Amino acid sequence: MASISDSSLSALALASRDLYAAVRRDAPLVQCLTNFVSMNTAANTLLAIGASPAMVHAAEEAPEFAAISGAVVINIGTLSTPWLDSMLLTAAAAARAGRPWVLDPVAHHATAFRRDAVRRLLDLRPAVIRGNASEIIALAGGRSASRGVDARDPVQQAEQAARELARTRGTVVAVTGEVDFVTDGQREVRVTGGSPLMPRVTATGCALTATVGAFAAVAGDDAYAAAVAALSCFGIAGQRAGALADGPGSFAWRFLDALAALESDSLIHASPLR
């Protein structure tokens, strides 16, 4: 991969700072059609960064609600037919209203139902896809080592799959793991930071997807910058929380506190972009 110039990294860091300041200023409304396991964590994470969560998922109202949201987040973790129907209607409504929507294809490769659901959602053109390495490899048509929600493949192994998926689908792909990777098919960057405790806390990845939605809501057409900013916030907050935590329990609340304590300048001076 071609190296990324210092000027490009500086521009990304500045964009991340500005987007973070915009989230704090505007408190964007983020509609989350997410799984039962992650609802509370995702909502608290959005509140910690200054956004406004809305867990509106019923088919009777979710599509209408998309038009008043800043962004929509769709996570298929606890998928069912009624949820899928609502997700499809809401993603289409978000597109009609000009609202970005973010897809988290949780364990989409595990069953035929999930594979079909993600195929139909992809056709509705998400602005960002956020997944672990195994999910992204499988989404691009490759063979992953995972059998469920956990990643069994390293991020580096998913980078080419992410590039191909971004180019084919015209979207931004964020692959998260020990070192995150973000690409829109042309630009790409790795984001370091975080803590080994993050995968040991339920719904951290789902909350990250919701955070991508918050940044997408204030990023205009630059979903790439939105994904990088969200991952940067998580990288910095995770690193700070991990340095003080005794285990996953204390990490969970310390991480929320670290997110809430972030200042926009920290995304420049402590930017984990590489």
Check whether 198 is labelled as a binding-site residue. no
The residue type at 50: G
> What percent helix, strand, coil does the chain show, rounded to 5?
55, 15, 35
Question: Phi/psi zone of residue 229: left (φ > 0), alpha (ψ -120 to 50 degrees), beta?
Answer: alpha
Contact 68, 96 (CB under 8 A): no
Contact 51, 27 (CB under 8 A): yes
Check whether 130 is labelled as a binding-site residue. yes
Whole-angstrom distance, CA of residue 126 vs CA of residue 169? 9
Strand partners, 29: 52
Whole-angstrom distance, CA of residue 231 vs CA of residue 147? 25
Residue-level length of the chain: 274
Whole-angstrom distance, CA of residue 258 vs CA of residue 261? 5
Check whether 140 is labelled as a binding-site residue. no
Whole-angstrom distance, CA of residue 106 vs CA of residue 75? 7
What is the side-by-side strand order in the sheet with 101-104? 52-54, 29-33, 71-75, 101-104, 128-132, 172-176, 180-183, 188-191
Q: Tokens at residue 175, please?
A: 């692959």
Check whether 203 is labelled as a binding-site residue. yes
Q: CA 168, 170, 174: angle at the middle one, nearest 5? A: 95
Sequence ranges of the binding site: 55, 130, 176, 203
Known binding residues for ATP = 130, 176
Annotated binding residues for substrate, written as ranges, equal: 55, 203
